[in-house]
Every structure is written in structure tokens, then in C-alpha cells.
Amino acid sequence: MFALVSFSLPAMEVLIRENPDAGCILGAKIIARVVRDKPDAVLGLATGRTPLRLYQELIRLHREEGLDFSRVTTFNLDEYVGLPGTHDQSYRYFMDENLFRHINIDRNRTHVPDGTASDLHAECRGYEQRIADAGGIGIQLLGLG
């Protein structure tokens, strides 16, 4: 079942940097500003090679500048069907290894879809409801490539 939704978006500013590293550092600074301005921010996160440098910079900002993730909530885009979160190819594992275990985020506030759910449609509906209950995604990180 699909519903038609109408919405408008504020103007989007496109920021181009000289290389991917500079772009990731800028992205991390933008996310850090969101977290500092709204300590209970809701972040939409992605996996893959593209955001790795950005996650490294967020870890650095946490360790060296005290960026506080203790009240932040995260929602990841997706997960592999059939893989438990402890599997080294799962997106949950990826996030734990590349960001979550290196910052002071409450694991109960980090959300990745359950790829082992017996009813995947119900899992997706529940995931969408958890996002809505959290107030929606404040900023979404997406990878390109």
C-alpha cells in the first residue's frame, strides 16, 4: 500500500570540495554542529566506503574536542536480510566497528533494521514507526559511488 504525500523542502545548498577527504571532513563538521546545537539530534546514517572518513572525523571530534553523542539517536538505512547484527558482514557490525564503539553513544539509541526478523514487512513498518516516534530524521547521511 502506498500513500501520496505532498511536502516542500527548503533550498538545498550544494557544497563542493577539492577532494573526498575534504568533503568528509566538512560533512563531519556539519553533523557535529547539528549535534552541538541539538544534543538529542536524530541522525540518519549510511554504511559503505563513502562515509568511513566522515566517521573517522566524528570519532576524532569526540575524542579531541568532546563532541557528545550521549543523547543522540541514530537510524541506519538498511541491513542485509538473513544476517544477524553480530555477523562481520552486517551493517550493524559495520557501524559498531567504525563508529559506535568509538564514541559515547547509548547502544539503545542506535537503530539498524533487523535483517533476521521473521516478518520483514512488520519489521519495516516498526522501523518507520520508531523513526516517527523519535521525531523523524534531523539530518541524513547518504553515500554516493
Give Cα separations from 19 to 23, 53, 108, 110, 127 (angstroms).
Answer: 6, 12, 35, 30, 35
pLDDT in tens, 46-98: 999 999 999 999 999 999 999 999 999 999 999 999 999 999 999 999 999 99
User: What pTM value is reported for the model?
Assistant: 0.89
Q: In the Cβ-directed half-sphere of 2, how many Cα atoms lie within 13 Å?
A: 3
Return the H-helix or E-strand segment holding 108.
none
- 20-140: CATH architecture: 3-Layer(aba) Sandwich (3.40)
Domain boundaries, given as residue ranges, for the chain: 20-140
Q: Which tens digit of pLDDT belongs to each residue from 6-25?
A: 556 677 777 888 888 999 99
pLDDT band at 4 (very low <50, low <70, confident <90, very high): low
Which tens digits make up the pLDDT trace of 93-141?
999 999 999 999 999 999 999 999 999 999 999 999 999 999 999 999 9
